[in-house]
Chain A
Amino acid sequence: MANPAVKQDPLAARIEGLTLPDGAGWANDARGAALSRLTAMGLPRKRDEYWKYSDPTTLNAPEAPRAGLFVTDEAMPFSDTDRLKIVFVDGVYDAEASDDLAMEGVEIERLSDALARDIHWARDHYGVLETRGQTPVERPLAALNTAFATDGVVIRATGKAAKPISLIYLHKSETSDAILHHLVKVEEGASVTVLENGPAAARFSKCMEVEVADGGQFHHIRAQGRDHERRASTHMFARLGQESVYKSFTLTVNGILTRNEQVVEITGDNAVAHIAGAALGDGATGAFHHDDTVFVTHDAVDCESRQVFKKVLRNGAEGVFQGKILVKPHAQKTDGYQLSQSLLLDEDSSFQAKPELEIYADDVQCSHGSTTGAIDEEALFYLRSRGVPEGAATDLLVLAFLAEAIDEIEDESLREDILTRLQGWLDRHRG
């Protein structure tokens, strides 16, 4: 029989086993405030406007559902990239496996160290963008993350970071329930690239707050997969200063439930935000549900934002896209673009899209489009008639479909790396 208390108060049950980590006074205050936010909101419910297409039950559950480990001999993504590695095992920083955190152009610390110090720049940032991101749409899982995150990194770019910072998430326990919170502050004119990859945990909650000051540049490339039983809820909260650049790309393969939220607020004129994602799911190798929920707010003049999300789904895989461009009254000359497309390789798969534009300025250019389509049979026959076998011909068309998202990765070698992952997945998931 179900515990009646759980029924009455799922939030209490969810956080019963969690403890607010102890740190400096200000950090404890920030965590306490996050817990209050969470308590006021409650956990996400299926009836919430932005949870209609994804079921939060397993994210809300008191314990992480078991997830089998993914084992492979293959090199992980970004292995060939000269980078600074920071490794987390089931959500716990692994100093042994990580590189020395010193690098030119950036200061990097473990979150718990930063939050234990009475005086630290993180004081003005921890939970701040997450809090801003709670309006107009509530994101209780992010507040939960801010309150209970036990680990993570804080990164402050003061110049041009010498190498990308590579966050590697290893998964070694079938029941791990990881909560990581990262803070990134890109100072004026500074730049940094953050890479993320790895299965992380049975259930993974990750929040990254990214403050990009005037003229700063933040690049983010993420490869999620190939674990099949992963349940992940991730949030990127960003605020962009004048002439700053924020570019984020995510490749997702496999995963029972992945919800990636991005909340980007453009507050400085002439800033650029590009958010892109390619997700591939094959229901034949385990349930697949992938949800991209994006909210871009234009609150400055002459800014550009692009959302490009593509999903390739087969054998009952499910894709969701919820994307909004909000243009505030004075955000004139906004150039906003949003594209969400799915390629359904069969009739069992499904794609739900909720594209939204909300524009209060009069001199703007905003477009959005959402499509669901199948493989173009004419094109497929044309390729096959030239001798390209059906599988390879389908791959060519799938890659062509994904190209606009992949092309958002500026760095050529990182783009090649992502393409290699993609091709690998296609090779393993034929027909």
Chain B
Amino acid sequence: MLEIKNLHVSLEEEDKQILKGVDLTVEAGKVHAIMGPNGSGKSTLSYVLSGRDGYEVTDGEALLNGEDLLEMEPEERAAAGVFLAFQYPVEIPGVGNMTFLRTAVNAQRKARGEEEMSAAEFLKVIREKAKALKIDADMLKRPVNVGFSGGEKKRNEILQMAMLEPKMCILDETDSGLDVDAMKLVAEGVNALRDEGRGFLVITHYQRLLDHIKPDVVHIMAGGRIVKTGGPELALEVEQNGYADILAEVA
């Protein structure tokens, strides 16, 4: 599904290398988790994959089902199936949540040559999915993320993911700021989307989320590289001992 090879990324504005040769493959149907110390480059990786400005890829590549992701505009990546649940979802005053999501769903469908969703169908589907995530109708009507609590913003990200049904879901610390119940809701939302044809890259600092979303593979990122890869037990090890041992071992 997603193949990242030797990815080197610097900042456009300053001469600073952040990703220093990331190698990572997420197979369809699998959940991969990335853990790693603050500032190790996890969010940067997610932004580079989704096409945010400000980064320069100096080496390596990223392919989605064989297609060169890095050549595409952000909207083209979205239509191709990339979805990033932001670590810090953006507030957009004046743009209604519903209008935004419907525009997004139909833009993606159009880009893929599919039929657009009617207003009625959209309303029916979004109501159902919002209900499952305990997002009330009022929140849907409000401007995108404006005045949402931290946890509400994260649930809204998952609602968007559920509506857009992407192939490759990247979740950047979606668990941070969530209370225990909300984390369960979010995990259920993610698990409901788990599917043969869909890959997940879940960035998190905590084992707790991974109790609910069972990963197939766990990677440790440090200093702009994947330094260790293992099974779910790797997350437990981090939870108990922190990164010191792992970093010492690979140094």
* A165 CA / B8 CA spacing, docked (Å): 65
Please determine whether A387 and B84 come into contact, CB atoms closer than 8 angstroms: no
Q: Which residues of B lie under 8 Å from residue A401 when comparing CB positions?
A: 94
Question: From B82, which residue of chain A is reached at the shortest CB distance?
Answer: A385
Please determine whether A388 and B104 come into contact, CB atoms closer than 8 angstroms: yes
Q: Which residues of B lie under 8 Å from residue A396 when comparing CB positions?
A: 92, 95, 99-100, 103
In the complex, which of the residues B86, B92, B99, B104 contacts A387, with contact meaning CB atoms closer than 8 Å?
Answer: B104
Extra A-B contacts (17), CB below 8 Å, given A384-B74, A386-B100, A401-B94: A382-B92, A383-B92, A383-B95, A385-B51, A385-B77, A385-B84, A387-B79, A387-B108, A387-B164, A388-B104, A388-B107, A389-B73, A389-B75, A390-B75, A392-B103, A396-B103, A397-B92
A6 within 8 A of B: no
* A387 CA / B77 CA spacing, docked (Å): 8
Q: Which residues of B lie under 8 Å from residue A379 when comparing CB positions?
A: 90-92, 95
In the complex, which of the residues B78, B94, B105 contacts A384, with contact meaning CB atoms closer than 8 Å?
Answer: B78
Please determine whether B52 and A400 come into contact, CB atoms closer than 8 angstroms: no
Mark contacts of B205-247 with chain A using CB atoms, 8 A cut-off: 1 yes-contact digit, 0 otherwise. Answer: 0000000000000000000000000000000000000000000
Q: Which residues of A lie under 8 Å from residue B143 when comparing CB positions?
A: 400
* A401 CA / B104 CA spacing, docked (Å): 19
B-to-A contact residues, CB < 8 Å: 50-53, 73-75, 77-79, 83-84, 86, 89-95, 99-101, 103-105, 107-108, 111, 143-144, 160, 164
* A115 CA / B136 CA spacing, docked (Å): 62
Shortest 6 CB-CB contacts between residues of A and residues of B = A400-B94, A387-B78, A387-B108, A386-B104, A384-B74, A382-B90
Q: Which residues of B lie under 8 Å from residue A18 when comparing CB positions?
A: none
Q: Which of B94, B99, B104, B160 has the most CB of A within 10 A?
A: B94
Please determine whether B103 and A384 come into contact, CB atoms closer than 8 angstroms: no
Within A33-81, which residues are at the interface with B (CB < 8 Å)? none
Please determine whether B74 and A381 come into contact, CB atoms closer than 8 angstroms: yes
* A400 CA / B91 CA spacing, docked (Å): 12
* A377 CA / B52 CA spacing, docked (Å): 10
* A324 CA / B84 CA spacing, docked (Å): 47
Contact (A386, B94) CB under 8 Å given A381-B53, A396-B100, A396-B103? no
In the complex, which of the residues B77, B95, B101, B107 contacts A389, with contact meaning CB atoms closer than 8 Å?
Answer: B107
Within A343-381, which residues are at the interface with B (CB < 8 Å)? 376-379, 381
Interface size class, chain A: 20 to 34
In the complex, which of the residues A378, A383, A400 contacts B93, with contact meaning CB atoms closer than 8 Å?
Answer: A400
B85 → chain A closest CB, angstroms: 10
A167 → chain B closest CB, angstroms: 31
In the complex, which of the residues B78, B89, B94, B104 contacts A403, with contact meaning CB atoms closer than 8 Å?
Answer: B94
In the complex, which of the residues A381, A392, A403 contacts B107, with contact meaning CB atoms closer than 8 Å?
Answer: A392
Please determine whether B86 and A384 come into contact, CB atoms closer than 8 angstroms: no
Q: Which residues of A lie under 8 Å from residue B79 when comparing CB positions?
A: 387
A161 within 8 A of B: no
B228 → chain A closest CB, angstroms: 29
Please determine whether A388 and B94 come into contact, CB atoms closer than 8 angstroms: no
Q: Which of A384, A387, A396, A400 has the most CB of B within 10 A?
A: A387
Q: Which residues of B lie under 8 Å from residue A378 when comparing CB positions?
A: 90
Question: From B84, which residue of chain A is reached at the shortest CB distance?
Answer: A385
A371 → chain B closest CB, angstroms: 13
Q: Which residues of A lie under 8 Å from residue B108 when comparing CB positions?
A: 386-387
Q: Which residues of A lie under 8 Å from residue B77 when comparing CB positions?
A: 385
Q: Which residues of A lie under 8 Å from residue B51 when comparing CB positions?
A: 381, 384-385
Please determine whether A385 and B92 come into contact, CB atoms closer than 8 angstroms: no
Contact (A400, B84) CB under 8 Å given A381-B74, A386-B164? no
Q: Which residues of B lie under 8 Å from residue A384 when comparing CB positions?
A: 51, 73-75, 78
A35 → chain B closest CB, angstroms: 48
Q: Which residues of A lie under 8 Å from residue B99 when comparing CB positions?
A: 396
Contact (A383, B100) CB under 8 Å given A396-B95, A400-B92? yes
B108 → chain A closest CB, angstroms: 4
* A382 CA / B104 CA spacing, docked (Å): 11
Question: From B99, which residue of chain A is reached at the shortest CB distance?
Answer: A396
Please determine whether B94 and A399 come into contact, CB atoms closer than 8 angstroms: yes
B40 → chain A closest CB, angstroms: 22
B112 → chain A closest CB, angstroms: 9
Question: From B112, which residue of chain A is reached at the shortest CB distance?
Answer: A387
Please determine whether A390 and B73 come into contact, CB atoms closer than 8 angstroms: yes
Q: List 18 A-B contacts (CB under 8 A).
A: A381-B53, A382-B89, A382-B90, A383-B92, A383-B104, A385-B50, A385-B52, A385-B77, A386-B104, A387-B75, A387-B104, A387-B105, A388-B107, A389-B111, A392-B103, A396-B100, A396-B103, A400-B94
